[in-house]
Amino acid sequence: MTSEPVPVGGGECPLCASEVAEAADHCPECGWSLAGVDGRPGPYSRSALWWTVAGFVAVYMITLGIVALTH
């Protein structure tokens, strides 16, 4: 599947080629998410992803510590 970038001033959906408004987050016809497409904000911020990874690592390390102390 190839996707053409949707211009910031509107344009076409990369999936179904329907007209898309400039401020649209999703295609009105097929519902395709336009997040991260040509100037639109992405679905996740980079800092949110890093904090999520850091949280999982912290929970993992705490779990390892508890297991090490109980055995």
Q: Are strands 11-12 and 19-20 parallel, antiparallel or unpaired?
A: antiparallel
- In this prediction, residue 13 carries a pLDDT of 85
Instruction: Read off the amino acid at residue 61.
Output: M
Six token digits for residue 28: 């009105």
Q: SS3 for 12?
A: strand
Residue 14: is its pLDDT beyond 70?
Answer: yes
Q: What is the number of other CB atoms lying within 10 angstroms of the CB of residue 21?
A: 11
Whole domain around residue 61: which residue ranges? 44-71
Residue 17 shares a structural domain with residue 29: yes
Do 25 and 7 lie in one domain? The reply is yes
Q: Residue 6: what pLDDT?
A: 44
Mean pLDDT of 25-40: 83
Does 9 score more than 90 pLDDT?
Answer: no
Say whether both 32 and 52 belong to one domain: no
